[in-house]
Amino acid sequence: MAYDVFLVTVPEDFDMAKLVARRLRSLKFTVRFNQKQTEDDIFDAKDARDAGKSGNMLILWSENSVKNDWVRAAAAVGNSRDGMLVHAGIDKTIPYTPYRKSKRFPLEGFTSRKMPEGFYKLVEELAERTGRSDLRAWMKLGSKDDEAREAWLDAHPDDPLAIAERQKREKALGIKPEPAKEAAEAATKAETTLRNGNGEPAPRSTTGVSAAVARASANARTAATTVVEPDQDPVYGNWTIAAICAAIAAIFLFSLVVRSQPVERLSAEMPATGNARTVIAACPAGTVPRSMVEFMEPGPVDIGMGHGPIIDDTTPPESE
């Protein structure tokens, strides 16, 4: 995110820093203020990245900040860019070189109910740097100066204050806001590269990035799909449907015929190798089934069917 102001301070001066940040944000300046900063923090890569994305760096000089290493490092980064630093003093402390002779906006006596002249001039400096004007007049308006506020907003339609007021009214009326500038530019860039299935440029859109993405996926599906008219459908034509219905009817009739035939039940007297009770009842102890006897009788030796004589091993042998 880009910031209008990168606020540089120390934890000991957070009360004043919070007040300054709140006032600037009420004027729709975007402010980067890390309230989780501690005395032992160092100016790390994230701080440097956020500073690089900021248009201005506001340093709140005080007897505490002039001795802080984080403030020194931040000031050095801001000083490396021409016209980035903005100096403000919250007490009589004079910063070290090379900032000793820099212009400082005095903020002594700044409270939630009182804004010193130095803060008005600080806001005017930031407004000039960001392309805004007449913010002093806006800050002088009271809460009951409705007509004057409307006149100011009408005179500055492109100011962030006027834009925020329009968005507030549109939201109350249920009107969806227009896409952000960055999103609109990204959508325009995406539209120049998208192509539909026929190779023609994709139609222009005014609904932002989400519409461009949806259109891209729709084009991908359209390119791989061929639309067939109902009277030209090669699969589901009238003859095919009739054939399918006839096959279903034939299967149904066949099932009725099969179910109407009597089922031959197996007799319990039929031999079955798996029915142990039947085998035991038909073959008392000491006997074997006839089929087994026929199989075990001696057969022709030349064809390998002989198995030798049957030996009765159920009777104990007589003693000699």
Domain boundaries, the chain: 3-140, 142-177, 181-223
81 by Cβ neighbours in 10 Å (0-12 / 13-18 / 19+) ranks as middle
What is the predicted pLDDT for the residue at 229? 46
What is the predicted pLDDT for the residue at 173? 84
What is the predicted pLDDT for the residue at 240? 75
Phi/psi for 77 (5° steps) reads -65, -45
What is the Cα–Cα distance from 74 to 5, expressed in whole angstroms?
13
What is the Cα–Cα distance from 106 to 123, expressed in whole angstroms?
12
pLDDT in tens, the chain (320 residues): 799 999 999 999 999 999 999 999 999 999 999 999 998 899 999 999 999 999 999 999 999 999 999 999 999 999 999 999 999 999 999 999 999 999 999 999 999 889 999 999 999 999 999 999 999 999 999 888 999 999 999 999 999 999 999 999 988 888 776 666 666 676 666 666 555 444 455 555 444 444 544 555 555 444 444 444 444 444 445 677 878 888 888 888 887 776 666 655 544 455 544 544 444 445 566 666 665 655 555 555 445 455 555 566 666 666 54
Residue found by looking up tokens 């002779």 in the block: 101
Opening angle at CA 181, ends 122 and 153, nearest 5: 50
What is the predicted pLDDT for the residue at 300? 55
Class of domain 3-140: alpha beta
Nearest one of 155, 208, 153 to 28, comparing CA atoms: 153
Nearest one of 6, 27, 46 to 164, comparing CA atoms: 27
What is the predicted pLDDT for the residue at 74? 96
pTM of the model: 0.56
pLDDT digits (tens, 9 = 90+) for 196-209: 444 455 555 444 44
Nearest one of 90, 124, 117, 85 to 102, comparing CA atoms: 85
